[in-house]
Structure 1
Amino acid sequence: MTPNEDHHDRAAPKRRPRQARETEAAFAARVREVREERGISQTALARSLRDYGINIDGTAITRIEKAASRESGSRAIRLGEAAAISDALGSSLEDMMRPQPELTEQIKEARKHLEFISRELATLTARRADVQHHLNQLEEQAKLRTELRQLMLALEAAEMDAASARLDYEVAAHRLKEEESLADTPSEKLAALQESVAMARARAQHAAFEREATISMIASTEAKLKGYT
């Protein structure tokens, strides 16, 4: 027991007001609760109080905490000591001296509020996911519609190209047939015409293939769009 503590114990009255005892009990309970939450030992707390000019040891902290259950061997606490302990534990004196039932009720209310917020947050998160999914679908539909318009334009161009290539082939084939019917047509000219016909046929076939491929892509895109309806 330190000299300061011994003097304090001798000066303490034998009978003290009930409100003072209840306040000290609440404070003692908070000291133990906060100290354990912070992972601070009684000795470490006592050592930190030296910075505040409070010269007590870990045993004194034990006796202070005993006031929570009004055990024998507990000790009263000075206001300066209470303020120093509160600050050393990173709390306020007002919070440390608040009656425990009131604090417990506040904790319960805070937990209820937190649960309510958690439920609301979960609901909002689910709604956000639904909205995001809907937006993604709308974006995909817009993309498909744009693609479909481009394909329709491509089909129009492909049909024109196919018709032109087919006409070129028919003209080349007709000219070759006419030249072949003439007895005096040079063989070199016939060979050139035959090559022209072959090239025109290949171009017509390629144009027809491009047209069919475009039609197939249009059908696929339209099917995807129908999947969103």
Structure 2
Amino acid sequence: MTRTPAFLLARLFPLAFAALLAGCAGRADVYEKHLRSEDANPADAVLTLDVAFARAPDHDPKSMVYGSATPRVEFSGYPSIDVPFYQKGLGFELGVLGDPRALLALPYPSPKTDSSTAKLKIFGQRLDARHYRFLVLPRPGWNSLDSFQVAFAINGRREGMTFAYSTKAVCDSSFDVTTPTYGFAMSVSASFPGGKPGCLKACDARPGYPGHCAFFTGFTTVPGL
């Protein structure tokens, strides 16, 4: 059977249209980006966190550069914070109109709700062996989960302590905490831009889950992530 140009166009147009829409719905860069607090502008910070560790954390700074056209630097070896973000938008998946086995079955783009996550890893400014300062920064084009995790190690034992914050609630944002895995003691103090009041709370501190806090009341939560 000879297929006419009109038939071929009818088959190819939905595919091309779906590809075009998928391109429009493409996600932003989801690489974990590494920054150093001392290189950032304090005016851009959502809050500044000062941490006093009861025992000096490991401090052996290293850096690696990846890529050539657009180099990406990753740091390691000393305390950092992980700041999670999310995006929700409209994506597309390909459906088929009619029996998929039939010659006249037409593919078509079907809209769906899409979501993605990313994070910043921000390394602390070392003030002395036990004191570090961190800038909690936004990520352009992404929504904040209003949460972060302080990650560090002592004698090679890795630990994480998770916090949630709010710029609308007001509470005492300076307090002592004990980490959940090894029981390391640390004191934290948060200050907000322009000296405005805010609120910092300790969470359940599950390592590796900086966006999922036990303390939810009054703070941002995103169902479905």
Question: Above 0.5 in TM-score?
Answer: no
Q: Which has the bigger relative contact order, CA under 8 A and spacing at least 6?
A: 2
Q: How would you bin the TM-score normalised by the shorter chain?
A: under 0.3
User: More strand per residue: 1 or 2?
Assistant: 2
TM-score, with structure 2 as normaliser: 0.19
Whichever of the two has the greater Rg, that structure is 1
TM-score, with structure 1 as normaliser: 0.19
